Amino acid sequence: MNRRHLAVIALGIAVLLFGAPLVSPVPDYGSHLRVIVNDDPTTFPTEQAKENQLRNTTTMDYQNLSAHAQRLFERGYTTEQFADEPAVRLDEVPESWTTLVPNESDTGRFIYIHKDGDYYYTGFQQFTPGPSPQAFMLRLGPLIGAIGFGTLAGHFVLTTED
């Protein structure tokens, strides 16, 4: 097999590798809701401050939450604070929380959850996750391979003997 045939084969492989990530479907990550629950119950300096804060902030009783909302709260409560907060797709958010979901442009919204006589500061933040490193590499890898095979094809063409 001469160098021109090898160049054509390398160029064909380069085109296939270059085109694969371009025509493969992009996953729909969709909007997610991050639930941030303070591990410790909120302590108010005075009873008056407590009344003012609870009057100005949405408060929900844990017992009145749906089973799904309770699970989300517990997941947020059992993780370390501000480390790997549980997130759920926005279309899976419990109906009782849909009015509390902030827009992506908002920094977040906070409520108090009343559980066992204590008030837990609970935050909601809407975001759209980016691709994972594995998904990024699945697209970048073939493109780098295409550059390599294209370079190899160019080398075969330029070094052919007439």
Per-residue pLDDT of the chain (162 residues; tens, 9 = 90+): 788 888 899 999 999 999 988 888 877 777 777 777 877 788 888 888 888 888 888 888 888 887 877 877 777 655 554 445 557 777 777 766 766 766 666 666 788 888 888 888 888 877 777 777 888 888 889 999 999 999 999 988 888 765
Separation between Cα atoms, residue 62 and residue 116, nearest integer Å = 8
Strands (E), the chain: 32-37, 59-61, 87-89, 109-115, 118-127
- Measuring CA to CA, which residue among 24, 114, 118, 15 is closest to residue 70? 114
CA dihedral for 142, 144, 146, 152, sign (positive or negative): negative
pTM above 0.85, yes or no: no
**DSSP code at position 112:** E
Tokens 């509390």 locate to 100
Full strand arrangement of the beta sheet holding 118-127: 59-61, 109-115, 118-127, 32-37, 87-89
